Amino acid sequence: MDTGTVMGTVMGTGTVMGTVTESVSEPASGARPSGAHGDGDTGADRALRHHGDAEVRGAGRELTDLAVNVRTGAPPTWLKARIAGSLDTLAAYPDGRPARRAVAARHGLHEEQVLLTAGAAEAFVLLARALRTRRPAVVHPQFTEPEAALRDAGHDVERVLLTAAEGFRLDPAAVPADADLVVVGNPTNPTSVLHPSRTLARLARDGRTLVVDEAFIDAVPGERESLAPLLTSGDASDGRPLPGRLVVLRSLTKTWGLAGLRIGYVLSDPGTVAALARHQPLWPVSAPALTAAEACCEPSALAEADDAARRIALDRAHLLARLGEFAPQGLSLHGSPQAPFVLVRHPEAAALREGLRSLGFAVRRGDTFPGLGPEWLRIAVRDEETTDRLASALGRLLAGNGGMRGTRNAERCQTTDDG
């Protein structure tokens, strides 16, 4: 079954209103260990398991990180102090109850509707292992770990591929009607599309689990379009709860610069939360991570996160304006980005990425995302000064043919650490 291709084994392909569906089959050997990056991995596995951090590592020198969408630098001083304060409690096993209460209160939910996890990444594995599913579908392009976790758990995964021609917008009718598990990201990594909550709500139906990965929603002012409020108040259109089962995933990694701590959570109904919890080991979230979760739910932290989201919107506008200057050189932007990163297209994106690397900038390749190809790159939103430096580098690389010839030479000379 190993095709060795980036896209995996395509068993069947169909098109629904400009949206393509693919079935990706499991190897006959069935489940593979989760998180496997080593021997026996197929090209498809490697592509699914390529993440932005690989773009920053192994350069032999410090690169300006535009590949990982986590706040740069350290978490805020007040948060570091709170986490450091928790070190005095390390002799005791962690008690998750206060953090769970804090998360539940922040979302207006019951404690039984909250599961704290070691990042949203753990939740993908729990869902894949705990939920019975006959026909799981993953809406792509999106973060690849949900599909990787489902495949590791032995599931055949159907891909619903949104297209650039449609602005990577979701048409709920494109998802197979009998898909009993649907995973979608909002806002979506890497397209930066924020799907309207009403559109997402139309995916909900009896007998289906709808999983919405909202790892980046706290970077959207007001957490607009989040489905978390529907867990309590029902469908905005008629006040009734959504049919089927809704699972919302959150991460504290991005906004708070806590990727190394591993903290996120699941919001759902009590039965689903209990089913997922049964697949967690004892004490899955450390005391410092629990402290961070509690702290990040405080009103002042929520206000700070919202301020950061508004600043990101301004920085993103600057980035888009600067990138727009390179339209005559073939760099194109898509839709209305709403996340702390933007997706760009250029016919020589691979060479451009290598050229940027040689000039000290790491950007994220796009070709490891199902539905995208080598002409795509993802660029993180940073402060204006960083963006202006990036624009200067792009100016050097894209200034006439000589610039791109130089880039291609740089590409030939360089080896990278990613697959």
The reply on whether position 127 binds ligand PLP by CB under 6 A is no
Where does this chain touch ligand PLP (CB under 6 A) — which range of 114-122, 219-227, 298-306, 349-357? 114-122
| Distances 363 to 105, 237, 408 between C-alpha atoms, Å | 38, 40, 16
Residue tagged 């998180």 (tokens): 35
Where does this chain touch ligand PLP (CB under 6 A) — which range of 16-24, 115-123, 153-161, 224-232? 115-123
Taking residue 167's Cβ as centre, other Cβ atoms within 10 Å add up to 12
Least distance to ligand PLP from the beta carbon of 128, Å?
A: 14
Local structure of 261: helix, strand or coil: coil
Least distance to ligand PLP from the beta carbon of 120, Å?
A: 4
Query: Applying CB under 6 A, which of residues 170, 210, 215, 351 lies at the interface with ligand PLP?
Result: 215
Computed on alpha carbons and rounded to an integer, the radius of gyration of the chain in Å comes to 21
Question: Whole-angstrom Cα distance, residue 320 to residue 328?
Answer: 14
Query: Applying CB under 6 A, which of residues 21, 253, 358, 387 lies at the interface with ligand PLP?
Result: 253
CB neighbour list of residue 195: distance below 8 Å, 6 or more residues apart: 169, 170, 184, 186, 187, 188, 225
Query: Applying CB under 6 A, which of residues 113, 133, 144, 189 lies at the interface with ligand PLP?
Result: 189
Cα dihedral sign for 169, 174, 177, 183?
negative
Query: Are the CB atoms for 21 and 140 separated by under 8 Å?
Result: no
Closest CA to 380 of 42, 63, 62: 63
Report the alpha-carbon angle 345-350-354, nearest 5: 125
Structure tokens at 138: 């993953």
By CB under 6 A, the count of residues binding ligand PLP is 12
Partnered with residue 20 across adjacent β-strands are: 15, 161
The reply on whether position 119 binds ligand PLP by CB under 6 A is yes
Contacts to ligand PLP from residues 310-339, by CB under 6 A: none
Query: Applying CB under 6 A, which of residues 259, 351, 356, 398 lies at the interface with ligand PLP?
Result: 259
Q: Which is nearer to ligand PLP, 200 or 398 (CB)?
A: 200
End-to-end Cα separation, the chain, in angstroms: 19
Where does this chain touch ligand PLP (CB under 6 A) — which range of 118-126, 132-140, 225-233, 356-364? 118-126
Where does this chain touch ligand PLP (CB under 6 A) — which range of 117-125, 175-183, 193-201, 345-353? 117-125
The reply on whether position 264 binds ligand PLP by CB under 6 A is yes
Left, alpha or beta for 42 (phi > 0: left; psi -120 to 50: alpha)? beta
The reply on whether position 231 binds ligand PLP by CB under 6 A is no
Residues 148-187, mask of contacts with ligand PLP (x by CB under 6 A)? -------------------------------------x--
Give the residues lining the site for ligand PLP (CB under 6 A).
119-121, 143, 185, 189, 213, 215, 251, 253, 259, 264
